[in-house]
């Protein structure tokens, strides 16, 4: 029985989580299904009930995924994204690539130009994406130094370094670094602008409410 259809959580699959996590101690497929349920729940308004109803299962799942990551599996990024979801970082979990050839769209906070951010084999740059000419007016990204990393950035970086994921660790320093706008030349923090524009609707509503309250 598959619990996930596309990005949507099928009713009842959350209830199956504790049993799946028990199976996941010895079965990789159960681990992947449990992880998929958690990732789906975090993007589907079910995140809070899940943590309230199944704290032990979530804690064990976190441990199992962490153990799997330390074996440096071929699908490392899958476990990495699952851990991010468990940590409540679902906007990163849902968008994170492995930085082999990742592109992000971020609006310049000063002139509102849609800036293309490339991190990967094509280079690490900000640019204006012209549909005929490609990425034009490229500017080199300015990666964060390891000392500058804090919060989730530092947590993600340390995890990638622990497990020998050099490409991922380097990509995180670029994502947590700064970019120059190709039009107005202002310099801004990529992650901050990206997260602000890509918070899920539910959380945006909550933030708006808490401001009013």
Interface residues toward Zn ion, by CB under 5 A: 108, 110-111, 113, 181, 183-184
Nearer to Zn ion, 15 or 111 (CB): 111
Q: How far is CA 122 from the centre of its chain?
A: 21
Nearer to Zn ion, 171 or 177 (CB): 177
Cα 82 to Cα 84: distance, rounded to the nearest angstrom: 5
Nearer to Zn ion, 128 or 174 (CB): 128
Nearer to Zn ion, 129 or 183 (CB): 183
Q: Minimum distance from CB of 126 to Zn ion (Å)? A: 10
Work out the widest C-alpha separation in the chain, in whole angstroms: 55
Q: Minimum distance from CB of 112 to Zn ion (Å)? A: 7
Cβ contacts of 174 within 8 Å, gap of 6 or more: 99, 119, 124, 141, 143, 144, 190
* Residue bearing tokens 């900000």: 126
Cα 48 to Cα 141: distance, rounded to the nearest angstrom: 36
Q: Minimum distance from CB of 187 to Zn ion (Å)? A: 10
Q: Minimum distance from CB of 195 to Zn ion (Å)? A: 18
* Residue bearing tokens 């799997």: 68
């Amino acid at each position: 029985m598959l619990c996930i259809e596309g990005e949507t959580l099928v009713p009842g699959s959350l209830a199956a989580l504790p049993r799946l996590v028990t199976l996941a101690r010895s079965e990789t497929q159960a681990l992947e299904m449990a992880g998929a349920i958690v990732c789906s729940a975090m993007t589907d308004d079910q995140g809070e009930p899940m943590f309230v109803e199944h704290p032990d299962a979530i804690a064990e799942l976190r441990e199992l995924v962490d153990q799997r990551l330390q074996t440096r599996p071929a699908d490392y990024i899958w476990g990495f994204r699952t851990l991010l979801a468990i940590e409540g970082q679902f906007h990163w979990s849902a968008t994170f690539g492995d930085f082999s050839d990742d592109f992000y769209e971020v609006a310049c906070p000063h002139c509102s130009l849609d800036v293309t951010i490339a991190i990967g084999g094509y280079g690490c740059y900000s640019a204006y994406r012209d549909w005929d000419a490609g990425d034009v007016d490229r500017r080199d990204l300015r990666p964060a130094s390891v000392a500058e990393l804090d919060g989730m950035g530092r947590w993600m970086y340390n995890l990638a370094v622990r497990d020998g994921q050099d490409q991922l660790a380097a990509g995180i320093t670029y994502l947590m670094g700064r970019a120059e706008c190709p039009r107005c030349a202002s310099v801004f923090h990529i992650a901050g602008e990206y997260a602000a524009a890509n918070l899920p609707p539910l959380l945006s509503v909550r933030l708006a409410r808490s401001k009013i309250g």
